[in-house]
Structures are given as C-alpha cells and as structure tokens.
Structure 1
C-alpha cells in the first residue's frame, strides 16, 4: 500500500485541481476564500494543512481502485434553517475546508451549527466513460449526523449515522458534460437527541465531555465502477486450515460472473481461489506468516470480477493471518490468546481528539503518530474509546502491529432511558460498525457499552452482546466495559470478557470458566504543562507536581497491574490515556502532542515487563478445606431476647448490641431489630480470613426499600471486605465487594423474612448470592480488599466511615471459613437455622 513520490505528487495535484470551481450564479456575500481559524492549541501538523492538501491519501485501504478523485478541499458553506430548501444554483457565503468538522479551526468555520449546507462543483473525466461503460460512485467516509445529498438539483440519497461510511450511485443525476453541482445538507443536534455521540457535547464541560464535531469529517471521493462491481471484501483468517475465508460482495447483475482472488507475499503468489460472487471462498495460505505485534506481517490481496477472460472490476486489498482466542494458563485461569499463545494486552485509552481538527486528525502523519507512540511506550493494544476512526487509522494499526478494541460510540448520559426508536437506531449503527470494520487485522474485540452510558436494560445488553458475537464469531465481545461502574445496569453475564474500571486502580476482576477478566480503565495520573493547556487548569484522577513524580506514580501503578495480572489472572489493562484531551491532563502527551510528560524509557520498561511476565504461568494455590459442620465457625442464633450480649454458640466471639439495637420477634424465636441509623451487633473480632474462602448467612427482614442496607460485613482499612446487603441502587439483594455486586434478579418485599447467603470462592474468583436456598446471582472479582477489622452485623464501612445501617430485623447469623456448596446452602435454608 506504499506510494511512490510520483504518485503522491499526482494525488496532491489532483486535490488541487478539485478545489471549488465557482458556479456562474449569485455572487458570494463574503470573501470567497478559505481562512483557517486559530485553535486554542496547535499541533506540529496544523500549519501543514491547506486547501490543496486536505487529507489527499486514498481513504479506503482495504478496497482500493486505481481510478478515483479526492473531493476534499474548499467547499461553499452556510448555516441552515429547519425545512429550508437546498440552495440549488445559489453561491453560499462562506468557505469550509472539507473534511474538517465545522467546529474545528481547520475547517475555517470554527462554530457550531445544528443544520448546515455544503456546496461545490466537480467535473467527471471523459476517459471514465461514465454512463456508457461505468457508473459513478460518490463516497463519504463519515458525515455527522443526518445527511441528504443532491447532484444538479436532484436528490440522490440520504444517510443517518455519524461514524460509518456510505456510497451513492449518482450517475443518473449527472449532466452530459461540464461542471456538476454537489450539495450536502447536514443536521447534527448532537446530545440534544439520543443519537450516538461518544464524548461529543453541544456544551463541552470541564470534565470528560468535549467539543462536538459536526458535518463532513472524513474524506469525500468519487470513482467510476462497472455496473456489476465489488463493494466489500469480507475476510476471516483461519489458522486451523491455513486459509483466508473470503467473500467478495458484489452489487449488480452477477450472472456469468466469477471472483478470482490472489494472495501475495510481496510479489510472490502464495494462494489463489476462484468462485462465485457473494459466496464464501477459501483462499489457501500455506505455511502462513502470522501477524502479531512483534511481527505485523500483511499479505497483499488482488481480487477480480471476471466474465470469461474479461475483467469487469478489480480491487486491491491486504490481510493478516492471526487468531484471537482464550485458554487457561498453567495457573488454571482463563486468559486471552493471540495465535494460540497467551499474550497480555497492555493498552491505552485512545479517544482520538485533536485541538485543531477535533474528530479529524490534521494530516495522515498525525493520524499515524499517536499509534506510533504506543509502540514507543511499550503498548501492544489500543482501546479506541467511543469513537470510530477513519479506515486509514486501522490500516496504520495493522501495519504497526497494534491490537485494537473498538468501542461503540455511546448515546448521551442521562437519568432517562433512551426511547425505543433510539435503542433500535443504536443497534443498527452498532451492527453497521461491526460490518464495516470486521476485516481489519488489528481489531480483536468489540465493546458495545461503556459504564452504562445509554444502556437501557441488562437483559438487552446481553442480547446485544450475543448478536455481535453471532455477527463476528472470530473476535471477542466485551459486552460492557466498566460493568462495575457508574450508570451500569449490572453484569449481563454475556460476552467473552468481564471488564471492571478502577481509578486509580488497577481493577481486579477474576476470570470465570467462560469469560476472561480485564482492567478496562485505570490510572489517570495528571500533570499540567504551562503553555500547552486547553483551559487555564486541568483535572485528572490524581494530580502530580512534575514529570518525575508523574513517571514514578505511573511505574508504581503499573507494578500493581503486574501483581494483579499474576495473582488474579486479568488478561489486559487499559491506562487512561495516550494524550491530554481538553480539560483532562492525564496523557503521556499534552493535547497538542508537543510535550512528552513522562520519562518514556521508564514507561516502556515497566510495560515490557508486564507483557513479558503476565503470561499465565504458575501453579494454582487451592485454599484449605475449612471447618466442616452445618453451623460454621461462628453462629449467632439471637436466642437471648434480652440484654446487650448475644452468644456465639459454636465459637469464641460473643457479640454486643450497640446504638439502640433491640430485641424483636425472630425466625423463629427472637431476633435483633436495627433502627437504620446507629444500631449494630459488633462481634469484637475479625472472624473471617477474607483472603480465603468464606460464607456469610443470615435471615433478614427489611422495614423499607431505597438506600443501601448491609446485614453482615467485615471492616477493612477503608471499605468493608464484603457486603451481604440490600442494594438501594439496584433495589435488589446483593453479595458485594466495593464496586462489584452479585445481584438477585427481583426486588424484595418489605416485612418479609428472607434467607441470604453470600459465598466467596477464591479459586473460582466468584461471589455467589443465594436467596431462600437458591443461587440468584454471581459476580467475579479477584479480591475485595483487606478485611482485618471487626465482623459487624447491621452496617458496612465505605470510604473510611460507617454506612448502610440495616433497617429491619436480622436473625440466625452463620459465618463459615469455607465456600459452602449449593447443596449445603439449601440444607441451611430448609433447616430454618
């Protein structure tokens, strides 16, 4: 895919020839020249952008054609009113540089518009023979959000969706010769609607939401094609039989046509296949050279559509031979693999914003720069965070050898649920994103949801994860990154990955038998650099005073990542983030990419150590069997019905009623009544070793719902090591660690006795909640933190203080130093003890 200097010069000349040609209609009411705005910060590439070189590179590396013309450059522009007719034949007053979003300085507009018009003219080369031997396709990399296109006053198409490409056949709207008029009308209301927006906001805040990117923001180009032509190449490498599964999608009349595909190792043919259009073919790739971050080898691919000996259409492409999977390490924990080998995926959070172009990198070199720096810093993975980049970004990741997790851009955050039509549109755009990007070698995981943003239902999230997996079985699906965080509806249990976020972290989820575990976001250490700030001040999850301190804190945090990877079995970790973005100053680079904020050698050294050492080796360390018996190591039957002391009938930890705890009717006999604000039963001891297996059980009754209430916990330095509780955030019973909950499926009733059991299984990494003898929810986490403080009945500890006092009655509390199996939990429930 490399281009010679002569080719690059030709592309530049073509781009220059395709700047706006004035139409002989009404004169412009403003100076008809493009002038760049002044961005708050300039990148090293800002000054390189001009009307004759706006992203001149071929924009679709996986489906190339020799004949094409770039329509980037200076267009006419105007804001629009709702319902306004297209300005056919009318010169617009302003000039915009396409494809930079209108809010950007590089566009020359540098303001927000809800609705807008773009207009330009173009000519069709005579030797393309459009209308006689070929059709003319007009292609858009991306337009945010609703677009309608007219050619010579005739509407030729519409498109909805801000992150995917689309193509129109405009042949029948062309005049026979001379200049053709092209008008694009765009509506983009951003977060005033439920459209997928990612981090864009109409009013960006001084936090984690940024400037919007409206209108045309990726390359526009045209190309002649045959009436029957190749529109997409579906590619899936198969290492088991050394083939590339290839489907050439063809539109038009395919009768009598065949597809011929040839794979090349440079100029050497390695495989060939011939078959029918729109059908799955197996292209042999014997003794394949495997693609990996250390050796990102790509094969060239040429595909022809033929009728007999005549070539009807031909395209160029490429592919890599690699396979993503999961398998247990020698320690028994399930981990992600690349080409059958465990590889820890060390990633950054990459949001893809630019101070001069916002969503659009100023140049192709700039687009590549951030990815190159990942390799310099020792990362092998990029999490593309709720934005979809141009195809050339993925091409650079393929060439450089970076694994990519692709997020779906989220709908806006809101206390309201998205309406049904927005839910349906979100799913349509998600599946379009998967369809249009599933052929890139670097892309290894799909992420439909992030932290509950725009999520409407946990069951729907699981269904959506399943649908993405069915659409693309060759990659992993991360149903919900940060499922433990924020607006999340809880773990659906679906997908291939359990993903927790923790700042500063790292997060420590535990893999199960069917899902790997990852730290989807952590870190976020910040440093302000004078003269390189978007705002006058910045924020991060922990601010540091200088580069040396920032580097030290990064290295310390990454050493914790390695410890968690080795102890807990996480398969990946995502550090926030590669560059500063607007108010956030937690990048390796300032937002303008001008300043390195850390010592890159130290960063690379610790990252290399993680990738090298977090390989799944080691032996499992099974916990001891614990104490046998039906009553555990501590049992409080609450039989006294009077006084302030209650007996531990099997152990040595008699407990004290405090803070107004009183006696009431129990289940059966007597129980303790808690007032919801001060009452506890304090055991005076650290009963459980929370580093091992344990079980907590109690009969409970709630006087009211809403707000958290904890029946049994054990204090740690800052938080309880575990919580057997009612979660007011979910209106469910739960067995929890801080930020991790195994939840019951339905809400409890007030004034009714329930039997709650929380089982911690260290080997499985699981928290399992039982209600009335039945397992109702399981969550996975490596640990809940230290718990050397007192075991307490009737409250919890969070952020250093007492919280979540129980409001209602508690009876028959058992504590076990082992993970009770399901049969014993059922026996305990039926015994009534």
Structure 2
C-alpha cells in the first residue's frame, strides 16, 4: 500500500539540494498564492481548540516522529477545491472555485467546505527552496480517503488506494527548474457504498453507533529533500532477553550501503552498532531502562546511512525497551504481561472523532488531549477503535506510557463479498502493521471487531496467524467481541478470548494458550444540555445526574476487579472516553468541554483494579450443598392451577394465559405476546448453584427468542432457560453467553429442558430430554437477583421480552446444581 519511490522513473539530477540532518524541526506552513474566499464553518459543537485553527497554523508539527530530518516543508493550509465529475480531466492551470483548509476532511467545519462529495479536486502550487538544490524531492501524504491520484506539473506521479495509510512519491523528475510547481490531487470516497475499510464512518450519520464520514485529504501533506541514497523507514523491535534493540533501516538508492545506529539516554551514548542497510542489526543496550505505563522511558536514536565512509543520510528516532506477553498467575490462570510481569490492561474505547474536524483533531494539543486524560483517569491502555491515527498520536502514547490495542478499520457490517475487496482488506491490514510496528505503545493488533465485514471463520483464523507471523513481538486479538453481533464465532486463533458485554463486564476465562479479556463493556450515559451533537442521544444505560453516573461506573469497575480475580480476565475496555455524536456514554462530552463524572472516584477505582488484578486470584466459592429431593425447592405441576406444591409461593397466570393439555395432565398455553406465569417471589439465590427444569412444546421455532424459565434482575434476567432465536436452538444462557443445544427443535413436540448453573465449576449446562446437550464456560459474577421468578418470559434492558409461544408443564426450581444422573432420573419420571 505504501507508494515507494523506487517505482518512480529515474532521477533527473541537479534539480534540488539540501543537507539531510537528523532531529526534525518545524518548518513554516506553505500556502498557495490565493487565500481569499475561505471561511471556517460552524460545527454543531466547538471544542476548546476550534478557534485556534486558521490557514496559517493547520497542524504545523513535524508529522513523522520516528524518522526525523531537519529540512522539510509543510503543505497544509489553503488549497483550491472543486467537486469532480466521473472521468473529468485534471484542471491543469485552472483556478478552482472554492478553497479548503488541508488537512481537514471536506465534511468538517474546519475544512470550510462542510459537505460530502463522492469525488473531488484539490489544487495548489508550491515553491522548492533554492537551498534544496542538488537533492531529490519527496512528497508525503499522511492519508487521503479513499482513492487518490496525484499530478505535479501536469504529470501523474502517484495513485493510491486506502484511507488510513500514508504514501509518498519522488517528484524530482517532473519539477520545473524554478518558480511555482503545480500540485493537483483527485480523491474519491464512496464511504459505505463499497466494502472499503471505513471503521465507524458513514456518508450520513445514523444518530446511532456510526458517525459522519470524512473524505479527501485528512492528514498532513508535506515535502522534504533527500539524497539519492536515503532511509525510508526504521523497523525497531526491542529484545529484552538479549538486551538489544533490533533495528532495520529500509533504504532507497544503491544497495550494499552501511548503516550506523546509536542509542542515547539523554546525551549519554549507551549503545552503537554498524552493519549493512536493509538487514536486521542488534543495537546493544546494557541494563536497559524498561518502558512501562509507570515509567515510559524512551531512548533517543541516531541512524546514519554511509557510502564508503561518507554519510549520505542521517535521521533521528526513538524507541522504548519493553516486552509483551502472557504469564500464569499464582491462581494458575494465563494473564497479560508487560516486561514479564502481570499487568492488567485497563482501557477505554477511543473512537478518535471530533465535532469540528471529524477524523482530524483540530490541533496537536487536541490530538494528545484524550490520551492525557486516560492517564489522569488512571487507565494504562487505550483501544484505538477501528481507526488508525496520525503518527503523532502514537508518539504521544509512547511518551505518556499508554499501551495501545490497535484495531484494523472494519468494512461495513456485511460480509465482504468474494473478490478484490477481501484482498484489499488484507493488504490494508498488512500495511497498517508495517507502518506502525515500531511504536513502543502498541501491544496488540485486532483484525476484526464483532464480525463487521468478516466473511469466513477459518479465514479469520488465517488472518490472525498472518498478522502474528508479520509481527511476532506483539499479541494478536483475532476477533474482539467474538461472542457478539455479526460475529461468526471463535476461530480459536490469536492470543485472546475477547467477549463484549454491555453493561458487563464480561466474564470469560482463559483457555489453552489464550488469555481472556473484556473487549467492550459499560456504556453508562448522561445527557448534557448544549453539549450534544444532535441535541439528544442514547447510551446502554442512561443515568439522571453526575453522581449516579459516577456510582454506576464505580460499581461496574468493581465488578471488573471481581471478574479479574475470580474469572481471570486480564484486560477490559470501557465504552468510552468521550461522547461521540449520538452516543452519550463518555467521560467527557463530545466537545471535550465538560467532564461528566467525579474523576477522583474514577481514578481511585481504576487504580484499585490495576493494583488488585495481579493474578493471585481468589479461592473458589464455598457453596452450601443445597436442598435434597427430586422435586426441588419449588414445583409447579400446572395441573389446573398454578400452585407451588413443594414451597409456599403459588403463582398466577397473567394476561389471559389458559390451561391446556400437557405432557402430564394439564399445562399452561402462552400466546407469545404478553402472557406468562408470575411466581410472585424471588425463588432462587442466583449468587450460587441452581437449576431450573420444565417440559415445553413450541408453537414455532423461528428467529424469535422465547424464554421458558427465568428470574428478573434489576435490568436483565439472572438466567434464561430459553429457545434462542438467533441460533434457533435451545439454550441455557446469561446475557452474551449461551450453552446451546446442537440441533434445532421441532414445533409441536414436547421437550424436557434442564438449565444448570454450576458456580463451583464456573459453567452453564443445558440438558435436553435427560441428556447433556451443551456446556458453556461461564465464570460469572452471579450478582444476586431480587426479582420474581417467572415462567414464559424474560427481562432484558429493563424490559419484559421473549414471551413463550407454546405450552409449558412441570416446572421445578432447585437450589443446587443437578448432576447428569439426577437430570436423567427427572426426565424419566415425566416430572
């Protein structure tokens, strides 16, 4: 995906010149001649940095922190702009009617255009400094969304596809000897009309979980002079066992040149290595200072490219010494580790969108703001959610000491069709890893999210293996949210078992050589008048005020710690750092103007998680044996009445439910709309072991959920003995976790269902007709449910749902986990 300058025509010598020095310094922003007719748009919300943006200071910082040179020129600023028609010739020598502020996407207020175009022209001129004479000239494009073509002085010099990776081109051979040089860029962005990787972007925001798209140039455009032989990229990989930094200098120009790399602790030289360019060298660093969130130490690097004793190129860089891996805790569970020690990865979901600049932060200070707040709130990790940021974002993360889980931008949530789009997705994924694998902060790659764009489960596994082979130094999370949404399931590959659970947290457990993590949870919301993109919005659970929002966050995070210690999750991702458009579940409003929680309480509980989730674990639950007996602690034969013939909690038929012929005697027929049976009490202590059994006959077995037995919680049922419409099979379930029968049931046929919660073993079991049908590892927090036990419906999201369309008979509740023999005997008895 990177447009390497080796592909350009041979050089025309003697056109440019400069001395290439390390340690990049800021250059003035270059401007085209015309600067009239532009004005900043009015965003729906303004950030603290909106008014700081102008044509003279559009992201002026050096854009490539890991490969710096002194001489460069920024080409951000005002460009001419016009919509482009399909097949239209480039507007050589023509003044375009509008102006746009680069590098802000055209849909953004900061661009001055503030509308979408499928296709567009950008035009400006630039002048090559006379002091650069004798050198080659490179043009760099940080990112153009999505397809791009570039012309200089009427000659096409580059084409590029991909909205999140950079490209560069050597334009030496098309430059005029002096005077203004004309630069034209064509861009096409069809957003969600194709299967291009787009992440959360949509052409028109849906007021839901997707956001306003960003088209055209959205990262810095700049140019620099280099020698005929020059360094293109540094590949940097710390290797703690050998106390060395592995370094490869990828170069252009004649082969066989030498490289000298030096590492510094401040001004002190601590290591040096010499060898051949384009080969991996080991730069020794004795007794290295390790990079970590508590001590994000970075070594300064200087790298020279040498030809027969003469320096051809010299660049500056940096790197941290750290290792990423997995180790077993004292409790025997596999956990995430940094530098060989268990470290819980406490993260938020970071979308990287801005109300004034959309995909592009208004200023570098703004770009760093969200990361700085992560540290202030006590987080040590950030999940960059299906977006790739400019290099300076990772530079800030490196300096601050934040571990980064880096997502691949997803295609839209339909399977990517067979053909070129699948190859394109894999090519862009490979380029994303190549461009970013030297940043110290990145610890994990995530190819897929919740099945969006996923087309084949086996291929998902192969892609995860490919990323691991490309970068063995980091972890691979093959599929964040493998239990959710459009996911095709668990490929079994990668280093993580990642479940999403709203409100959560997830309670998955490590297995084999994979750790368990909660890839998304939380999502508590609060409305903030005059600081909402649409004037309103939503969250997974809304709260009425800051105090309640803070309390719910703290409660949820305490559950994260419990899940870490009892279940073994070693990472969690809270949704999210800021509100975004219609989503109101941030620590900050979307404009970054208003903090929405008591941050002292947030930091305290976050600190407790990182300190307390150390892998020592907790002893298994000490559970009572339960009440003996074949009928359990409550039994409803449903023979003409709803009496509890074992306990004292007689039930009542609701909304016109009627008695009908049953499996044994009579039963209760339910209409699937609003009818159910209410026991009127909490029958089970769901913090421990329990079982529920029933005979059931479905009237239909389609895509609708139907619950046979459950018990109400505050928001969701504590458990669901159910027919899962999503799977079209019987299940014993917790929210987001299902022990599923292997086959689809037939309507109008009686089945005996038993759902078992075995807290001691940390599992759910489903029995169908007396035989074990499924077991699901479910290390749950098992919070006590104080609601009523009900027959024929469930509760989810605070609402009554999943009404049974069928007939139910012989319902038992047990305060123990039934074993195989007990279930078999109960089935045989017909009760």
Cα distance in 2 for partners of 1:250, 1:412 equals: 36
* Matched residue, 1:331: 331
1:104-160 CA-to-partner distances (Å, cap 9, x unmatched) read 222121221111001111233344345xxx533221111111111111212111111
Matched, 1:465 2:480: no
Cα distance in 1 for partners of 2:537, 2:633 equals: 53
Cα distance in 1 for partners of 2:516, 2:46 equals: 39
Single out whichever of 404-413 and 78-87 deviates more from structure 2: 404-413
State the aligned residue count: 801
Matched, 1:202 2:203: yes
Match of residue 95, structure 2, among 91, 95, 101: 91
* Matched residue, 2:345: 345
SS of 1:262's partner is strand
Single out whichever of 700-709 and 652-661 deviates more from structure 2: 652-661
* Matched residue, 2:182: 181
CA contact (8 A) 1:577 1:586 kept: yes
1:254-293 → structure 2 map (5 Å cutoff): 254=255, 256-293=256-293
SS of 2:242's partner is coil
* Matched residue, 2:250: 249
1:101-140 → structure 2 map (5 Å cutoff): 101-130=105-134, 134-140=135-141
* Matched residue, 1:28: none
Distance verdict in 2 for CA 1:300–1:653, change over 3 Å: same
Match of residue 53, structure 2, among 43, 46, 49: 49
C-alpha root-mean-square deviation of aligned residues, in Å? 4.3
Distance verdict in 2 for CA 1:672–1:538, change over 3 Å: closer
- How far did 1:214 drift? 0.9
1:762-817 CA-to-partner distances (Å, cap 9, x unmatched) read 46644466889798774544246546889888776655647353759999999895
CA contact (8 A) 1:77 1:92 kept: yes
* Matched residue, 2:447: 448
CA contact (8 A) 1:103 1:111 kept: yes
Distance verdict in 2 for CA 1:707–1:813, change over 3 Å: farther
* Matched residue, 1:150: 151
- How far did 1:392 drift? 0.1
* Matched residue, 1:436: 435
Distance verdict in 2 for CA 1:369–1:485, change over 3 Å: same
* Matched residue, 2:169: 168
1:550-589 CA-to-partner distances (Å, cap 9, x unmatched) read 4344334433433443343332332332223233333333
Unmatched tracts of structure 2, length 5 or more: 1-21
1:160-200 CA-to-partner distances (Å, cap 9, x unmatched) read 11111112222232233332211100001112222222222
Matched, 1:524 2:528: no
- How far did 1:208 drift? 2.7
1:348-427 → structure 2 map (5 Å cutoff): 348-413=348-413, 418=417, 420-427=419-426
- How far did 1:740 drift? 1.4
Cα distance in 2 for partners of 1:299, 1:330 equals: 33
- How far did 1:290 drift? 0.8
Cα distance in 2 for partners of 1:489, 1:622 equals: 33
CA contact (8 A) 1:716 1:786 kept: no
1:196-241 CA-to-partner distances (Å, cap 9, x unmatched) read 2222222113333222211100011122334443322222222222
- How far did 1:404 drift? 1.3
Distance verdict in 2 for CA 1:382–1:85, change over 3 Å: same
CA contact (8 A) 2:662 2:807 kept: no
Q: TM-score, normalised by structure 1?
A: 0.83
CA contact (8 A) 2:460 2:478 kept: yes
Cα distance in 2 for partners of 1:580, 1:711 equals: 35
* Matched residue, 1:706: 702
Match of residue 780, structure 2, among 779, 782, 791: 782
* Matched residue, 1:224: 225
CA contact (8 A) 2:659 2:666 kept: no
Unmatched tracts of structure 1, length 5 or more: 1-6, 23-30
- How far did 1:626 drift? 6.7
- How far did 1:293 drift? 1.0
Distance verdict in 2 for CA 1:435–1:653, change over 3 Å: farther
Cα distance in 2 for partners of 1:139, 1:9 equals: 15
Cα distance in 2 for partners of 1:674, 1:474 equals: 59
Distance verdict in 2 for CA 1:711–1:561, change over 3 Å: closer
1:482-497 → structure 2 map (5 Å cutoff): 482-497=481-496
Cα distance in 2 for partners of 1:42, 1:711 equals: 47
Q: TM-score, normalised by structure 2?
A: 0.84
Cα distance in 2 for partners of 1:800, 1:32 equals: 57
Matched, 1:235 2:232: no
CA contact (8 A) 1:301 1:317 kept: yes
Cα distance in 2 for partners of 1:633, 1:463 equals: 50
Cα distance in 2 for partners of 1:764, 1:73 equals: 62
